[in-house]
Structure 1
């Protein structure tokens, strides 16, 4: 297990194979980011976007994500766009599939793709 401190945004990044839901390679809880070993800079950008959202919402990020599909969609689209800013446009279709299937958003892959590339 590895531990790093991010100052922008303020976060603790923990590299671990545990505590992360199986369908994800990274997971953010408040200012704590859990990532699997070998995580890409792009995925880290995605997770650190969630930390920025946490700070920006005064700590309400988790509650908003849990209870509101609207906020969940908004936050995930922002995070996937941050990831695409690092990777370039090539994985946009793959990210759209993940957005459409992993977050209970009632989105088709085509709708998710439009959101990510708008």
Structure 2
């Protein structure tokens, strides 16, 4: 376990507690990442923690019940991740954004949203 102050969160490196389809997952101020996760993924998850603090915990409800909010929150997190990972990672992130979040967008739309 590691404690970060900016944003305030607890990060656990684990393979056991994560849903199989994710390499990282955050809920509130707690972040789970796999042992082989990149620094860019940690930045993505920490962005979700910032959202948690910014929206006083309501981001989870917004995320769950509003595809528009889900897109907004994931775009912010993926853009932060992309800033660390570099432009070569954009297509893979666009594919993930288009296919893993029930957003009804194409990979091309996701790429455009990430890179503009």
Query: In the alignment, which of 20, 41, 44 is matched to residue 43 of structure 1?
Result: 41
Compute the TM-score of the two structures, normalised by the length of structure 1.
Answer: 0.96
Q: How does 1:52-63 map to 2 (within 5 A)?
A: 52-63=50-61
Q: Which runs of 4+ in 1 moved over 4 A?
A: none
Q: State the superposition RMSD in angstroms.
A: 0.6
Alignment deviations for residues 77-103 of structure 1 (CA, whole Å, 9 cap, x no partner): 110100010011001011000000000
Alignment-derived partner of residue 17 in structure 2: 19
Compare 70-79 and 14-23 and name the one that shifted more: 14-23
What 5-or-longer segments of structure 2 have no aligned partner? none
What 5-or-longer segments of structure 1 have no aligned partner? none
Alignment-derived partner of residue 104 in structure 2: 106
Aligned-partner Cα distance in 1 for 2:67–2:104 = 9
Compute the TM-score of the two structures, normalised by the length of structure 2.
Answer: 0.98
Residue 15 of structure 1, CA deviation: 0.6
Alignment-derived partner of residue 64 in structure 1: 62
Residue 22 of structure 1, CA deviation: 1.1
Aligned-partner Cα distance in 1 for 2:90–2:33 = 21
